[in-house]
Amino acid sequence: MVPTVKAKGEAVAEAADEYDEATPATPSGQHEYLSLLGLRSFDTASLLKRLEEGLSYAAFERLKNRLDVTSRELADAALIPPRTLARRRKAGRMQPDESDRLVRVSRVFARAIELYGGDVEAARSWLMHPVLGLGNAVPLEMLKSEVGAREVEKIIHQIEHGVVI
């Protein structure tokens, strides 16, 4: 299947709207992927402030639901140990470093949604299965580090430009 092309951010906004009609995603900046976390501000200054404060635990839940993964799977991708996640759930807030890693996961998920022309299911499936161009690694598992995330984004870019992998 050849992905259809949509305006940058349009597919991600639609994916976010699909899951949360009460929090419309109206991307207005370069960080549209934040809508997958339920955030409404997309500019860099707002993002940095939110990361410094730490995202709410609800942002973790929103991303988990949009990815259709378990709490454990998302926590693993964001390098959050189970006991730490339980404490964050109780406190209602993530720490800055954990928030940064959740933003990384949402950024790559948004790129996969764009790759598949807004087809969230296809993007999820791609993230959960081994990819030959990544040495048969599972993209979601590679998101544990920025280096791994960049490799996943590089493969997405290559697929968008017709590079055979």
Partner residues linked to 137 by β-bridges: 131
Partner residues linked to 93 by β-bridges: 56
Phi, psi of 91 (to 5 degrees): -75, -25
The reported pLDDT for the residue numbered 101 is 97
Distance (Å, whole) CA 77 – CA 46: 24
The pLDDT tens digits for 8-59 are 556 555 555 444 443 334 444 466 788 888 887 778 888 899 999 999 999 9
Quick check: 121 and 5 in contact, CB under 8 A? no
Reported confidence tier of residue 165, pLDDT bands at 50, 70, 90: low
Residue 60 has pLDDT above 90, yes or no: yes
> Mean pLDDT over residues 128-151, rounded?
97
Q: Interhelix angle for 120-128 vs 57-67, to 10°?
A: 90
Give this prediction's pTM: 0.81
Q: Greatest CA separation found in the chain?
A: 46
